[in-house]
Structure 1
Amino acid sequence: MRGVDLIKPEPVVKQIQLSGETFETLIHNDLLEQRISEMARKIAEDYEGICPVLVVVLNGAFVFAASLAKALKIPCEIEFIRLVSYEAKTSTGQVRAVLGLDKCLAGRDLIVVEDIVDTGLSMRFLLDRLGGENPRSVRVASLLFKPSALKEKIAPDYVGFEIENRFVVGYGLDFNGIGRNYPDLYVNIRS
């Protein structure tokens, strides 16, 4: 084609460096997007005729939530909440909301959209809080699930991938505030 440069795909990044730590590719973007589309189809099937509220947990779930919302073929509303429980690569065991919900959720069908359920402490905190709003239903959609790390009995209703109890970054997940922008998911080689 004249006048048009063909775009060559960038080589797949095998490793990245963040704050002196090395991470290697765990799940490529195309597989992430494929699985999210499958999750969206299942959610649309389960919520046919219903306009659920996606309660997106910031900051980590924003990339997953955007992909999920775009793939959903049903009407939905989107709200955001921000919880804090991590310092560096470790859960502090203490959860607090630093950005809350301001919408009435009574009688609504909620889908909590989370990047990762590992210890379950943040999810338990949020589910308890949302339960106090008297919703009609609450389900959890998590891109990643680490069942071996659970300290609370939490079982997400929609799971993208079950992974080992290792530290991951990319696709919205960070390490000390960096790494969210990478399109693939990476695992710390020392975790």
Structure 2
Amino acid sequence: MENKRKELLFSREDIQNRVKELGKQIAKDYEGKKILAVSLLKGSFIFAADLVREIDAPVRIEFMTTSSYGHGEETSGHVKVVHDLNMDLKDYDVLVIDDIADTGLTMEFVLEHLKAKNPASIKCCVLLDKPSRRKTELEADYVGFTIPDKFIVGYGLNYGDYYRNVPYVFAFVD
């Protein structure tokens, strides 16, 4: 992949500006609520860190780890919880944060899993939405950018074990 050309999809500035807009909207929508942000690891950690800093309200942050991709470019279709939340969600308005909604299988699974813990409310926020690949009825409540059906990398999204640290989003092209 190193010798392939990179196609820039969203610059660092594009992402920063959109994350600020999302943070303002979420702060407005959650005004007066007890916010619990749940970052889905590993992909969302950079986005989640930037996003919660843009939410002008008290936010509790927790982390969940799920698995469905392994090291490939395609989801296995089977989602499992690797690390769960160990807390009572009863009084919290939960915002699940992920890097991308692709097939929708992971987010749909996580939302159903967390709904069973009886939060006050539950919504989701994704940096990237790829609706052309959706296998569920999932519609994210907050979306950074809608993207075409390309395998994208950077800003938390990996290829193998690398590229999460790249501050922009790109696709490899032939």
Q: TM-score range by the shorter chain?
A: over 0.9
Pairs within 5 Å for 1:33-52: 33-52=16-35
**Which residue identity does 1:57 align to in structure 2?**
L
Normalized against structure 1, the TM-score is what?
0.87
Gaps of 5+ in 1: 1-16
**Which residue identity does 1:82 align to in structure 2?**
T
* Pair 1:177-2:161 in alignment: yes
* Pair 1:91-2:75 in alignment: yes
| 2:103 aligns with one of 119, 123, 127 | 119
Measured on the aligned residues, the alpha-carbon RMSD in Å equals 1.2
Pairs within 5 Å for 1:98-113: 98-113=82-97
* Pair 1:23-2:2 in alignment: no
For 1:99 and 1:85, the matched residues in 2 are separated by 13
* Pair 1:78-2:69 in alignment: no
When structure 1 is superposed on structure 2, of 20-29 and 65-74 the one drifting more is: 20-29
For 1:82 and 1:22, the matched residues in 2 are separated by 31
Question: Which residue of structure 1 aligns with residue 170 of structure 2?
Answer: 186
Aligned identity (percent) is 38
Q: Post-superposition shift, 1:51?
A: 2.5
Structure showing greater radius of gyration is 1
Contact kept in structure 1, 2:5 and 2:173, CA below 8 Å: yes
Question: Which residue of structure 2 aligns with residue 8 of structure 1?
Answer: none
For 1:157 and 1:146, the matched residues in 2 are separated by 14
Structure 1 consecutive aligned stretches of length 4 or more whose deviation exceeds 4 Å: none
For 1:21 and 1:167, the matched residues in 2 are separated by 13
Contact kept in structure 1, 2:64 and 2:81, CA below 8 Å: yes
**Which residue identity does 2:36 align to in structure 1?**
V
Contact kept in structure 1, 2:34 and 2:91, CA below 8 Å: no
Pairs within 5 Å for 1:127-146: 127-146=111-130
When structure 1 is superposed on structure 2, of 21-30 and 95-104 the one drifting more is: 21-30
Normalized against structure 2, the TM-score is what?
0.95
When structure 1 is superposed on structure 2, of 20-29 and 124-133 the one drifting more is: 20-29
For 2:57 and 2:12, the matched residues in 1 are separated by 24
Give the direction of change, closer, same or farther, for the CA distance of 1:122–1:21 in structure 2 (3 Å limit): farther
Question: Which residue of structure 2 aligns with residue 11 of structure 1?
Answer: none
Gaps of 5+ in 2: none
